Structure formats: structure tokens, C-alpha cells
Structure 1
């Protein structure tokens, strides 16, 4: 895994507050086995079983819990935050996250796929960098879903782009920004 991709996953983990410690000696933190199980719930079993599993340590550095054999990397839920945050993404989605966190334009022509089959931390549908709800940022709740990131803008043309979407149907999140992406619920 490239240093850039690891950095992308580091910032993704930060973005999603996946910052639980990984030292098994501390009874309040999950064991590696628990972290791996949590990360694997983020994606379909056939994807997760061969994915690399990483987690952020108490020192803020990413560490590999299990080396995988496919192009997906999964991260566990943060047990200290409300709601599930486990996620799994392919290499292109990792690069997209890296660009997002650096406030840069995502790489062109690199379609990425991300899974959050347990749902995700609620977020603004209009402001990619909102940290909490307010009257202008259209905070939404998301259930189990997958995301398609990095698509050409024409891909999103036939999906709802409004600020208050029906999150039970596919919609575009962060429409009109370089980080717009398709949110597709799975029930």
C-alpha cells in the first residue's frame, strides 16, 4: 500500500472518527480480533474476507491488522462515537478521500467504491466540511449504503441533488462540489 494511500486512510479514519485505541491491555478498547470483525461488517462478506484491515492506534498512526489480497481496505467502527462508522473502500476511493481531506480536487478518471453496510455517521448533505448540524447545512441520517465516488459529473445527472434528499433512495451528496458522490442505500 502506498504512503499516499495510507495517508488517505489515516485522514478517512479521522474524518469518520475511527480513533479507538488498539491496545488489548486496556479493557475499554477493542482487541484486534474485535476490530477486524467490525471492519469486515462494512462490506459484503466476499469483499471483506480478502480486504486489508487497518485501524488507527492511540498514537494516531494507522496500523495493518491483516494484509489482504484484493484492492479493498476496511476500517473498524469507533466504539466511542454514536452510530456505526466501519467502512471499506477500494484504492481509487482511498485516493478520493485523500484529496477531500487535503481540500484538493479528486483525481480525474478514477471511479471509486466505498461500503458502509452498517450505516455511517450523520453528516451535512451540502457542506463537505461541516462538523455539526446547523440551520443551513442540511444534516442527514444515513443507513446502510455504498458510495460511488470520482465519477464524471454526467454520471450524477439523473439522481436527486437537492439539499434534503430521501435517504431511502439513491441521491447525490455534496452536489456541485468537487466531492459530489452517489449515496446508494442498501436495505
Structure 2
């Protein structure tokens, strides 16, 4: 690679990183996003750190392969839950985490944690800006609606009956 091509490649990477950092920070309240660690998930599923933070939150930018805007920002327990979900492993129950998705997000199946697009039976829903409670004990989720087609204007349980069930709390 020539020096000019290498410099151009580094500049393109820096621009992409800047956009990813801004996208990731938009998932949470301004003070949380500004001090959070920013990561991207690589094609092999491993996370690459774009910026080290200092407040215990980790934010990820929008995934361009999904239908809606879905940057997210989470505390340590929610990150462990998300890593279990992405790795198809069972998350630890009773380790409660908080996740922000203030850019909207969740243009997804309400019943299938791994659905990529709407189908006849996967109950595709759209939830605007919201926060999520993950990792709680079953009895916590039993207090909230678990219907396949929930009212997305009120708290509801997503992915009910799976190891990845969590409480969705709309904020707008």
C-alpha cells in the first residue's frame, strides 16, 4: 500500500470512528454517553473499543444491517446480558442491568430474539425511545404484559419465555 493510500484509508477509518462514536453516544442521556466506553461489534462478534470511558457504561453505535435505529448504551450487568444474547448463551438471572436506546430502536420481533426481518408469525413491532431492564428474576417480569403484540406506549416484556426476556419502558 502506498503512503497516500494508507493515509486515505486511515482518514476514512477515523471518519467512520467519529460517526460511530456520535451514534453510540446518542443512545443515552448526554452525560452518560459522553463518559461511556464506545465499542463496535466486529463481523466475528468480538468487540473493538473505539474510545475508553470512565463511568461504567458501554455504548454501541447503530447497526446498519437492522431495520431501525438501534444504538444502545448499557451498564456492566446489561453488557454481560447483551454479550450472552449475542453469543447465544444464557445470561445470569438476578443480575439486573439498565440499557438505554433513546434514538428509538427496536424495530424487531417481540417473540424471536434472533429474527432479522418481519415474517407472518414473529410479531414485528416498533418501539420508539426506551430504556430496558434486563437480567431480573422471573417474578419481576410477571408484573408486566407479555403479549406477542404489546401496547408499545406502555411498559411490556419483550422476548417473553426466552432467556433474553426483558422489560421495555418507552420514554416518549
Report the TM-score range of the alignment, normalised by the length of the smaller protein.
0.7 to 0.9
Give the TM-score, by structure 2 length.
0.84
- 2:21 aligns with 36
Please state how far the C-alpha of 1:60 moved relative to its aligned partner: 6.7
Deviations 1:41-72 (A, max 9, x none): 10011211210011246787532221111111
CA–CA distance in structure 2, aligned partners of residues 61 and 179 of structure 1? 20
1:177 equivalenced with 2:162 (yes/no): yes
1:83-122 correspondence to structure 2 within 5 Å: 83-122=68-107
Unpaired segments of 5 or more residues in structure 1? 1-21
RMSD: 2.3
Call closer, same or farther: CA 1:97–1:56 in 2, change over 3 Å: closer
Structure with greater Cα Rg: 2
Deviations 1:52-94 (A, max 9, x none): 0112467875322211111110111245654312111111111
Give the TM-score, by structure 1 length.
0.78
- Checking the alignment, whether the CA contact within 8 Å between 1:100 and 1:179 is kept in structure 2 is yes
Structure 1 runs (4+) greater than 3 angstroms displaced: 56-62, 78-82
Unpaired segments of 5 or more residues in structure 2? 1-8
Count of paired positions: 164
- 2:54 aligns with 69
- 1:146 aligns with 131
3-state SS in 2 of match to 1:68? coil
Please state how far the C-alpha of 1:179 moved relative to its aligned partner: 1.1
Please state how far the C-alpha of 1:137 moved relative to its aligned partner: 1.2
